Amino acid sequence: MTTSPPPRKTAAKTSTKTAAAPAKKTPVAAKKVAAKKVAAKTAVVAKTALAPVAEKPKHKLVRDSFTIPKSEYQLLEALKLRAAALKRPTKKSELLRAGIAALNAMADKALLAALNSVPSLKTGRPKADGTVAKD
């Protein structure tokens, strides 16, 4: 009896099996790959977003106290209300800084006129009854 050799596999069948069966990724592995891609994109976006923005320089702040007549203090409060009516709420320190900037921008003659219009005060803390302390 003659036996025939086993049938040969054709090239088309083997190539379809290897090409049709790519390595499947598990859901966990696919999530890890997706997470790495997202992280890489956000890192690039973060670097480009931060590059054009220049940080504002931090100014060293100085705390100081001073004595002011009650009438001028009430003017500060009136200016705060006026700024609020203009839809620009303002703090006392902002008003004082704006006033300093305005004085700095004045010509010498105008600055002297403004300084002469303000009476000089004695330094020191006022007494409890509201009068100014004597030096």
Domain boundaries in the chain? 70-116
- Determine the pLDDT at residue 135: 46
Q: In degrees rounded to 5, what are phi and psi of residue 63?
A: -100, 135
- Determine the pLDDT at residue 108: 96
How far apart are alpha carbons 97 and 83 in whole angstroms?
14
Mean pLDDT of successive 10-residue segments in the chain (135 residues)? 65 52 64 73 60 74 88 94 96 94 96 93 75 53
pLDDT digits (tens, 9 = 90+) for 22-56: 556 566 677 777 777 777 766 665 555 555 567 78
